[in-house]
Structure 1
């Protein structure tokens, strides 16, 4: 019996091997059928259509290197006016927003007692002057002593000093414009009592104005007193105001590493007002030619900036129609920016057509459809738009 079992062992192993091989062949056939079905399904699926994008051509433009900053307008001279003494208001000689001249009386306090005392002191001074002149003549005739003459002279000078002192007291009852300018809003009326030091009205000199702004310390070597400064303000759209760089702070702010700069802007038509916000542009260096693209055309990546260059379509499709154009990604080196534009230093040639919108859907070789009805912003001097 054992011998018979030994004779059956090889045949059993052979059958097991054949069974395993058969199972593997069956699995391979099933996998092959599935792969064929998937490939047939993929082949039968419609190909994706071209991606709609907008394009533009890289063009060479003349660039004026400039520094950009944000500034604030300040009056050349401005003051909040108050009285040195308290008192009752008798006259207000201006209205809100009025242009005033230097020395003009703006407000008057009651000064009857002070003026009366001034007249008295002036009369005393006049009498002291007559007495002094008589003493001088008598001294020349040796009719009085030198001591009497000196006493008369001292009385005369003391009376003159008293008159001048009282004039100062009377002047303190008037509020005068310290310089020519425009008055602000005044709310004081005759009959009001005002206290010492209370601000009554502001006066601002509006022509010229100063604009204060800051630039990084690395740009300090490019600034010179007398350079032209261009100002643009939201309130006046595309209008540009020209100014002159008038002063550079000799000290750099240690917390920001910026330096304060002052420019003087004429304001003959009083269009500008102190406190207004302004965008500042300073022309520096010589004009140069730069290959330019809209900033929207650049795809910024950690490994480098790129653009999608349009390639003409090659060949024809199954229906005999020309294939659509495709795109190829290209690395570029960008330079300065100017408004909505960026300078391309390396990587492109003039008149190269590049994609300006729709890049997020693209990859190398992707077919595209060009639709330039809407283009991204490409202005060297954009202005804010209010909607």
Structure 2
């Protein structure tokens, strides 16, 4: 009985060992097979890298800002007694815009002025009596203090009346009226926007690599699609002292004449800025660039070899340093050489070493000055 059990145990062990060896060989074979597996090629378009004259100029989006712009608001609470302006009209510095009800303050002022006049008369009498030695120095000082106090009280009410007369702080164009006659206004309530529109500012950002090329006084042109053929010429008047940590851009401000107030605060405009002489540069369509936080790259088509040593048409990822852009094109500062074949579309589905199949029947746009009808 014991001998039979031993034989059965040995048989089971041999069976398990045999099955384990067979499974091991299957796994090993699968691993070797997968190691040499090459995914099917991805369809891409390509372009040959070549140098061309690249203008040292940039076209960026800018935002219009008034040189001076405020929202005129109530300094003190009160009821609107008079409105002296029309929405959208031009005003001059010092023009009265709104008068709040000051009847109570004017009544107080009349009483205080009467008190001040009485105090002034009493003080004159005290001066004469003091010279004659009839009154004490204390009585004389009290009379002098009362006169100054009544004058100060009257001056305070005059200031309150003046603060309830709201004037234009500078010349400019008014916005839309936000108050009505008889309306009660709390302190700080907005009344109307006032903007000085000529000259006017345009603010825009430039990449940090161009910060050294921006100089005060450099000329630029501003255009809007809604104003075809019209260029607003201006010059740079301020450059920010820091680089934005999020965008890595430096903020630039230019000043330009704005006759007719055709440019308004908040508008987006195109800013054309020349940074120097034209220079040769390798250019690629923007669709060829794989943008990433750790660095921008392109895919270079080359003859590669797989794990078995077989040659195939594939790509290698190449990191590049980008320059400026214009239209659909991007300038490559470093990382590429003329004559290299670069994937121009389909980069999102590629990885380093991926096999590709080139089909250039349809190419992505590569126009330095594209128009809407071209898209």
Task: Tell me whether the two structures share a fold, i.e. TM-score over 0.5.
Answer: yes
TM-score by length of 1: 0.59
Return the alpha-carbon distance in structure 2 between the equivalents of residues 292 and 273 of structure 1: 38
How far apart are 1:343 and its partner, in Å?
A: 9.2
User: What is the deviation of 1:185?
Assistant: 0.7
1:186 deviates by 1.0
Does residue 239 in structure 1 map to residue 234 in structure 2?
A: no
| 1:109–1:343 distance in 2 versus 1, CA, 3 Å | closer
> Which of 77, 90, 103 is matched with 1:86 structurally?
77
Farther-moved stretch of structure 1 (141-150 vs 334-343): 334-343
RMSD: 3.8
Please, what TM-score do these two structures have when normalized by structure 2?
0.61
Distance across 1 between alignment mates of 2:193 and 2:374? 32
Matches for 1:328-343 after TM superposition, within 5 Å: none
> Is contact 1:108-1:173 (8 Å) kept?
yes
1:48-87 to 2 correspondences below 5 Å: 65-87=56-78
Report the counterpart of residue 130 of structure 1 in structure 2.
121
Aligned partners of 2:80 and 2:101 also within 8 Å? yes
Unaligned runs of 5+ in 1: 1-59, 305-333, 349-358, 363-375
Report deviation, 1:223: 1.1
1:197 aligns with 2:188: yes
Secondary structure of 1:166's counterpart equals helix
Note the C-alpha offset of 1:196.
Answer: 3.3
Following superposition, the deviation at residue 117 of structure 1 comes to: 1.0
CA contact (8 A) 1:237 1:383 kept: no
Q: How does 1:143-154 map to 2 (within 5 A)?
A: 143-154=134-145
C-alpha separation between the residues in 1 aligned to 2:103 and 2:330? 72
CA distance in 1, matches of 2:374, 2:101: 52
Cα displacement (A) at 1:92 = 0.9
CA distance 1:385–1:119, change in 2 (3 Å)? farther
Deviates more, 1:204-213 or 1:194-203: 194-203
Report the structure number with the largest CA radius of gyration: 1
Distance across 2 between alignment mates of 1:188 and 1:201 = 8
Q: Could you tell me whether the CA contact under 8 Å between 2:59 and 2:326 is conserved in 1?
A: no
Q: SS at the partner of 1:224?
A: coil
Give, in whole Å, the separation in 1 of the partners of 2:66 and 2:85. 21
* Aligned equivalent of 2:44: none
Distance 1:117 1:339, change over 3 A: same
Determine if contact 1:234/1:384 at 8 Å carries over to the other structure: no
Q: Matched residue pairs, number?
A: 272
Aligned counterpart, 2:89: 98
Change (3 A) 1:337 1:200: closer
Partner residue in 2 for 1:222: 213
Unaligned residue ranges in structure 2 (runs of 5+): 1-51, 290-297, 302-321, 340-358
